[in-house]
Amino acid sequence: MSGEKVSLTVETEGNVRLDKYLADVLEGQSRSGVQRLMEEGHVFLSGKPAAKNAKVQTGDWVEVLIPPPASLDVEAQDIPLDIVYEDDDLLVVNKPKGMVVHPAAGNPDGTLVNALLYHCKDSLSGIGGVLRPGIVHRIDKDTSGLLMVAKNDFAHLSLAQQIKDHSFTRIYAAVVYGNIKEESGTVNAPIGRHPTDRKKMCVTEKNSREAVTHFEVVERLRGFTQLKVRLETGRTHQIRVHMAYLGHPVAGDPVYGPKKVIRSLGGQCLHAQTLGFVHPRTGEYLEFTAPPPDSFVSFVHSVSV
């Protein structure tokens, strides 16, 4: 069987059901999805197929074989792309707010992947599988900005390693609620799945991964602060979770912000502004910057002191 193989050493207190543990630590896997993997014999505990009611404790060794995505008919669509840079190995795209990166339930088309399949034809890395060809990293649907796409597996592996080594430059522009007292700071707080809401992440010590975010104040606004944010790690919803953890959620964030959402923003006021990396083939460091969209600029202007 081809697909992804994940090996884990359990770091959790007491006896915990294996299906719950894996749903917490495996990104993109629900508890029912994990149970299905267990039923199909793809989950191993201490080298043996795991029973459906298996429990784990600290130090246990777990292996999971995640099958490749089902071969779906992902349609190539002629959707305009704002391409900032392109060569034979990769391209950098400025993704608009509101565009989903890859097809999923509820978003079968109109995604960045549909547009890339049309633009690049057969020239996309296959590492991400059928649903995520060429996708090295992601940004949320309602976050705008720069995204890296690999055209071949050689480029994909190199870029993915740079992200893993924290040598990949990712700088965001953000507007958050309130007045952050410090001129700059670092949030070093692990992020994991929310214990009761599966669609959310949170700062937690349990079944979490290291997450580090650096920020600097750009401008103090009326009731808000504009920040320059640099990611050291890249966890799901990292900036949104860390800013909410500080008590300064991202403006317009419908998930981690106040219940009364700023509807006019159409999502979080967050923009992936700068992307820097070493080119896999030439070894040259490249860096690209895209200005925030009009909605971001207009909001900043509306709350300027």
Q: Among the three residues 150, 165, 180, which one is the final residue of a domain in this structure?
A: 165
pLDDT grade, residue 305 (50/70/90)? confident
pLDDT of residue 133: 85
Domain with residue 241: its CATH number is 3.30.2350.10
Give the span between the Cα atoms of 242 and 180, in whole angstroms.
13
d(CA 64, CA 43): 5
Question: For residues 252 and 177, is the Cβ–Cβ distance under 8 A?
Answer: no
Question: Given this model, what pLDDT does residue 223 score?
Answer: 96
Is the model's pLDDT at 12 over the cut of 90?
no
1 band by pLDDT with thresholds 50, 70 and 90? very low
290 part of a folded domain: no
Residues 181, 160 share a domain: no
Q: Are residues 76 and 160 in the same domain?
A: yes
Kindly state whether residue 91 falls inside one of the protein's structural domains.
Answer: yes
Q: Are 74 and 161 in a shared domain?
A: yes
Q: Is residue 215 part of a domain?
A: yes
- Of 146, 138, 142, whose CA–CA distance to 236 is shortest? 138
**Same-domain status, 100 and 122:** yes
CA dihedral 163→167→169→170, nearest 10 degrees, is 40
Residue 220 lies in a domain: yes
Residues 191 and 158 in one domain: no
Whether 263 and 224 map to the same domain: the answer is: yes
What number is the average pLDDT over the span 144-164? 93
Check pLDDT > 80 for residue 177: yes
Q: Is residue 176 part of a domain?
A: yes
Is residue 203 predicted with pLDDT exceeding 90? Answer: yes
Q: Which of 165, 197, 226 is the last residue of a domain?
A: 165
User: 260 is written with which tokens?
Assistant: 């009364």
Which helix (H) or strand (E) covers residue 278, if one does? strand 270-278
Query: Tokens representing 139?
Result: 């940004």
Task: Note the helical H segments in the chain.
Answer: 18-25, 31-39, 112-120, 153-164, 238-245, 294-302
Indicate if 129 and 179 belong to the same structural domain.
no
Q: Is 283 part of any domain? A: no
Quick check: is 89 catalytic?
no
Confidence of residue 5 (pLDDT cuts 50, 70, 90): confident
At residue 2, does pLDDT exceed 70?
no
Range of the domain at 254: 171-272+295-302
Q: Which two tokens stand for residue 205?
A: 């010590």
Calculate the CA 249 to chain-centre distance. 17
User: For the chain, first and last CA: distance in Å?
Assistant: 60
| 16 and 95 together in one domain | no
Contacts of 208 by beta carbon, 8 Å cutoff, 6+ apart:
190, 191, 192
More confident residue, 287 or 20: 287
- pLDDT at residue 248 in the model: 98
- Cα dist from 107 to 81, 104, 110, 119, whole Å: 18, 5, 7, 19
CB 149 within 8 A of CB 102: no
| Higher pLDDT pick, 173 / 164 | 173
Neighbours of 288 (CB within 10 A): 16
Q: Which of 60, 89, 140, 142 is catalytic?
A: 140
Cα gap 295→225, rounded to integer Å: 16
User: pLDDT tens for residues 155-167?
Assistant: 999 998 999 888 9
How far is Cα 133 from Cα 129, in angstroms, rounded to an integer?
6
Specify the residue for token string 């505990």: 45
Residue 289 within any structural domain of the chain? no
Under 8 Å between Cβ of 273 and 173: yes
User: Higher-confidence residue: 105 or 5?
Assistant: 5
Contact 59, 115 (CB under 8 A): no
Residues 206 and 187 in one domain: yes
Residues 183 and 253 placed together within one structural domain of the fold: yes
- pLDDT at residue 179 greater than cutoff 50: yes
Do both 148 and 220 map to the same domain?
no
Q: What is the pLDDT of residue 105?
A: 67
Q: Do residue 248 and residue 185 come from a single domain?
A: yes
Q: How far apart are CA 276 and CA 169, in angstroms?
A: 5
Domain boundary among 109, 135, 165: 165
Q: How many domains does the chain have?
A: 3
For 91-128, how does the pLDDT look when each residue is reduced to its tens digit (9 = 90+)? 999 999 999 998 876 777 899 999 999 999 888 888 76
Q: Could you tell me which of 193, 135, 190 has the C-alpha nearest to residue 159?
A: 135
* Interaxial angle between packed helices 18-25 and 31-39, expressed in degrees from 0 to 180 and rounded to the nearest 10: 120
| Residue 12, domain CATH | 3.10.290.10
Q: What is the pLDDT of residues 48-106, one digit of tens each?
A: 999 888 999 888 999 998 876 555 568 899 999 999 999 999 999 999 999 999 887 67
Look at residue 96 and tell me if it is in a domain.
Answer: yes
Q: What is the pLDDT of residue 28?
A: 63
